Structure 1
């Protein structure tokens, strides 16, 4: 098993600063200066190796987030913040499990646990989608009932067919 990078051994606050610097595209020399200014000691080559691994992981994270977003849209209401949070949490767990693998270490979570976690999330998001669909059906039924009641009242008041059609279109949100 390879030893940990000297960057990974840095104080977490310094390492977070390194991660932010890499994220904003700082050069290796700028990052080395940053680490020195924060009281850390690391070589240019260590920063170079770490930044390559960091960028690869960031690319993987972006890909996973895109997949998670598509998964959330397929299995839950796109405005479902709880579902989005759940997806992001599972995504974070998966990435954290993969980081040790990238550096040749044993992961903190095994594939079976990750599978069960993802399965539970899928089940939860499926239930959220059912709830969202039911809510949408209730809203549509309520609109339809309101349109029917409006039509009855407008007919009783002597409104023209064109006026009734326009009011119903407004209530239902569709063209008749």
Structure 2
């Protein structure tokens, strides 16, 4: 088995920074980016430096992955709109299914390459990505449910305020007396 690439040995938070920096720079400026990466590694006390070609190769891989993600997301949105499934939770479910398919294809491809084993670190990142996607789906569903509950409670409060106003108006106009108005307020829970 070949030794791991240096880029794969950098700490996760620095790799995440590198991915974000690559996106922000439009996957260009590799010389400056390599200098910044090595400066960050040195400041952190890491005894590793990464070359421009390694950063460039990583950037190309990540760019292809980011494009595939964007295409998958656009496809999911289009597919759900075509099929009338615009619900956010269903979108997350479709994306999760697509990620599962992608993971399977990636693992199958790695296993078919002669003399190469699957890197456990790659499996870890793949599993983490899928866990984050599932987590995101649950959080979105909870946020949506909380928003629907808030809207329903607001509608109930508005309806109560309108009824209270109608009772007050009826009492002022003399349509009902003060005692009847008070009874109505008690029955409706306004007292």
In the superposition, the TM-score normalised over structure 1's length comes to 0.50
In the superposition, the TM-score normalised over structure 2's length comes to 0.46
The structure whose RCO (Cα within 8 Å, separation 6+) is larger is 1
Larger-Rg structure = 2
